[in-house]
Chain A
Amino acid sequence: MRSYFSDFPKTALQASYWLFVIYLLLPLALMMAISFKDANFVAFPIDKWTLKWYAQVLQDKQFLEACAYSIFIALMTTLFATIIGVWIALLISAEGIMARSVIFALACLPAVVPGLINAISMRIFIRVLDIPTGTGAIILGHTVHAVPFVVIMVLTRLRSMPNNLVDAARDLGADSFVAFMRVTLPYLTPALAGGMVFCVLTSIDDFVRTFFLGGYQTTLPMLIFAKVQGGMSPEINAMATLVLIVTAAIGLYAEHFTRRSRT
């Protein structure tokens, strides 16, 4: 900051930053604190501490099954969304493609449509095609939602790729498949890593699509939703805390990874 900027705006800006940080962190921090409360109801203040809720959650079969189911869906979603997303990005960045901007806009459509509408349109779509609700429908819905983000991340990375890299590989005798595997794909790695983590986290987190497309098996957000609606107990806090720590760790690690490979 230049020395001539007067001190008042600087202090005010700093204050706004810290207030915002508090706004973002305080509710989550307090929620985590209550997970250690030794009482059967959720309220302040906390006078006795315990770890029993964690023990209970880790033995909760319903919770563990929901976790496994959510992770399975997230991994399948990530797999499909990555393949299709890269494919679409390659198409958009290919030379001599007509209506590039139209294809790009359509590829991004599911990300622009409000979440609820997106979920409802998918619900209608699978009913028209007679696809049953359940695992397949959820994965399809999550994949459609995740593809635009993969496309955008991969396109951004592709744009920064020196365009003579592939030419050089072709010149050295690689056919286009080998050139893709040996040059383009490795170059895309950071974008792919970022995109995949994004897919996993949004899929695990998704509520509205699962709500409309899901069958009888419960995913993690559905379980938390049911528990929150059913009444409060520190058990939910423990559950949420565990999920939060895992997802935040994945997110932070991915952030760290992409940042490091960028430099």
Chain B
Amino acid sequence: MQPVVHFRNVNKSYGSSLAVDNLDLAIEPGQFVTLLGPSGCGKSTTLRMLGGFETPTSGEIFLDGQEISRLPPNKRNVNIVFQDYALFPHLNVRRNVAFGLELKGMASDAIHKRTMELLSLVKLTDFAERMPGQLSGGQRQRVALMRALAPNPNVLLLDEPLSALDAKLRQQMQIELKSIQKTTGKTFIFVTHDQEEALTMSDVVVVMNAGRIEQMGDPHTLYAKPRSRFVANFIGETNFIEGRLKAIDGGLAAIEWNGSVVHANLNGQSPAIDSTVAAAIRPEAISVLSQKPANTIAVSGRITQRIFKGDHTSLTVSLENGQSVVAQLDPVALSAVTGDDVWLTWRENDAVVLAD
């Protein structure tokens, strides 16, 4: 299938600093794609280049196979939901949504019909004649969304649109956004720095750092099989296992660590024997036992801190080598832990070897 959006070797620099570094990205139609990364990673610049508000320094951007890198925003069939909504304060809700349609020269009955359809999609028909200043944050958000969807763009861009909402409303809007994307079948490109938001809504998450793509994949793969230290760290909490690679056995790496040899999934990496490698393991994948298990490899340590977090408890375990490991235990598992001297163990494939 032809990608709906294709960035080919796109660079964007401001003076001497490189905001986007040789970006190569193809997005399939109908997907909910999230660009995730810390501020300054180039995700917003990428979005703005697609919207037409920035021009790439070099490289090309294709929309539906057409080169659009240098077209002004009003000549591109993409629409954007801005971070602060950017609703026109002098127009009521209906006129805001109709703005793009009016510019297309649509007949006024048709405009009215489509506007009202869109507003009913987000249950705002009763607010059609209100001014934006009279709406709540969530309502403004919905109006901005419908205004951007109204001209029927090939791709809808969303630039951290939920960041101004409070936590509860944000969760509600995440679900709503996802369902609107499903109903309309449009390609959504969503920019955020909030990993939880990215995991909740996306079909594909593109993790960006320093202007480059670190990793791209579905949320589950990204979480379970991070390719780099950055991704592992940025998405969720992680423990790092660093040690000498003793052997490679099938898909597993044997790493010398804390006086024992532990195993981790190679995850497509091929490090050299005897080199230092790092692997990541999620806190919830670690089992904490009071007795040394009989048949599996385990590492011994001592609990130095317990933090109660409601549905789980987070234990910090100090190892003999001076490093410490964080493990998350549910109440049942926690009740089995007696005393502070413990053994840590995990399923071999839950630890993954990182590229760096």
Asked if the two chains touch in their complex, CB atoms less than 8 Å apart, one says yes
Interface positions of A (Cβ within 8 A of B)? 2-4, 6
Whole-angstrom CA separation of A2 from B73 in the bound complex: 11
Chain A residue nearest to B54 in the complex (CB):
A3
CB distance from B138 to the nearest CB of A (A): 29
* Residues in A neighbouring B73, C-beta threshold 8 A: 4
* Chain B residue with the shortest CB-CB distance to A2: B53
Please provide the chain B residues from 55 to 83 with a CB less than 8 Å away from any CB of chain A in the complex. Answer: 55, 72-74
* CB-based nearest A residue for B76: A4
Q: Would you call B100 an interface residue if the criterion is a C-beta within 8 Å of the partner chain's C-beta atoms?
A: no
B52 on interface, CB distance cutoff 8 Å: yes
Taking CB atoms, residues of chain B closer than 8 Å to A3 are 54-55
Q: List 10 A-B contacts (CB under 8 A).
A: A2-B53, A3-B54, A3-B55, A4-B52, A4-B53, A4-B55, A4-B72, A4-B73, A4-B74, A6-B72
**B209-247 vs A, Cβ < 8 Å mask (1 yes, 0 no):** 000000000000000000000000000000000000000
Contacts of B52 in A (CB 8 A): 4
Which residues of the other chain, A, contact B74 by a CB distance below 8 angstroms?
4
Interface string of B291-320 (1 = CB under 8 A from A): 000000000000000000000000000000
Complex Cα gap A3–B48 (Å):
12
Q: Is the interface of B mostly helix, strand, loop or mixed?
A: loop
Q: How far is the CA of A2 from the CA of B55 in the complex (A)?
A: 10
A6 to B55, CA, bound (A): 13
Residues in chain B near residue A6, CB distance under 8 A: 72
4 other A-B residue contacts (CB within 8 Å) besides A2-B53, A3-B55: A3-B54, A4-B55, A4-B72, A6-B72
B222 to chain A, nearest CB (A): 34
A2 CB contacts on chain B under 8 angstroms: 53
Report the minimum CB–CB distance from A7 to chain B (whole Å): 12
Q: What's the minimum C-beta distance from B340 to chain A, rounded to whole angstroms? A: 51
B44 to chain A minimum Cβ distance, whole angstroms, is 15
Closest approach, in angstroms, between the C-beta of A36 and any C-beta of chain B? Answer: 47
Report which residue of A2, A3, A4, A6 has the largest number of chain B beta carbons within 10 angstroms of its beta carbon.
Answer: A4
Complex: A4 Cα to B74 Cα, angstroms: 9
| 7 A-B pairs closest in CB distance | A4-B72, A3-B55, A4-B73, A4-B52, A2-B53, A4-B53, A3-B54
Interface string of B16-57 (1 = CB under 8 A from A): 000000000000000000000000000000000000111100
A2 to B72, CA, bound (A): 10
A3 to B14, CA, bound (A): 13
Min CB gap A156→B, angstroms: 22
* Complex Cα spacing A3 to B70, Å: 10
* B55 proximity list for chain A (CB < 8 A): 3-4
Q: From A3, which residue of chain B is reached at the shortest CB distance?
A: B55
How far does the alpha carbon of A262 sit from the alpha carbon of B148 in the complex, in Å? 39
**What residues on A are CB-neighbors of B72 within 8 Å?**
4, 6
A207 → B minimal CB distance (Å): 41
Bound-complex Cα distance A214 to B57 (A): 69
**Chain A residues within an 8 Å CB radius of B54:** 3
> Complex formed: what's the CA distance from A29 to B292 in Å?
95
From residue A2, how far is it (CB to closest CB) to chain B in Å? 6
B74: nearest residue on chain A (CB-CB)? A4
Shortest CB-to-CB span from B57 to chain A, Å, is 11
Closest CB of chain A to B201's CB: distance in Å? Answer: 30
Taking the closest CB of chain B, its distance from the CB of A195, in whole angstroms, is 31
Instruction: Report Cα–Cα, A25/B146, bound state, in Å.
Output: 50
Chain B nearest CB from A9 CB (Å) reads: 13
Chain A residue at minimum C-beta to C-beta distance from B73: A4
Q: Whole-angstrom distance between the alpha carbons of A2 and B193 in the complex?
A: 25
Shortest Cβ gap from B172 to chain A (Å): 34
Contacts of A4 in B (CB 8 A): 52-53, 55, 72-74
Give bound CA distance, A3 to B73, whole Å.
Answer: 10
Residues of A within 8 A of B53 (CB): 2, 4
Residue of A nearest to B72 (CB): A4
Q: Kindly provide the distance from the CB of B273 to the nearest chain A CB, expressed in whole angstroms.
A: 52
Bound complex: CA of A6 vs CA of B74, how far in Å? 12
Residue of B nearest to A4 (CB): B72
Bound state CA distance, A3 and B55, in angstroms?
8
Question: Within the assembled complex, what's the spacing in Å between the Cα atoms of A4 and B53?
Answer: 7
**Cα(A4)–Cα(B52), bound, Å:** 8
Considering the chains assembled together, what is the distance between the CA atoms of A54 and B53 in angstroms? 57
Q: Closest B-chain residue to A6, C-beta based? A: B72
Bound Cα distance A183, B73 (Å): 51
How many Å from the CB of A181 to the closest CB on chain B? 40
Q: How far is the CB of A5 from chain B (nearest CB, A)?
A: 8
Q: How far is the CA of A6 from the CA of B72 in the complex (A)?
A: 9
CA gap between A3 and B54 in the complex, in Å: 7
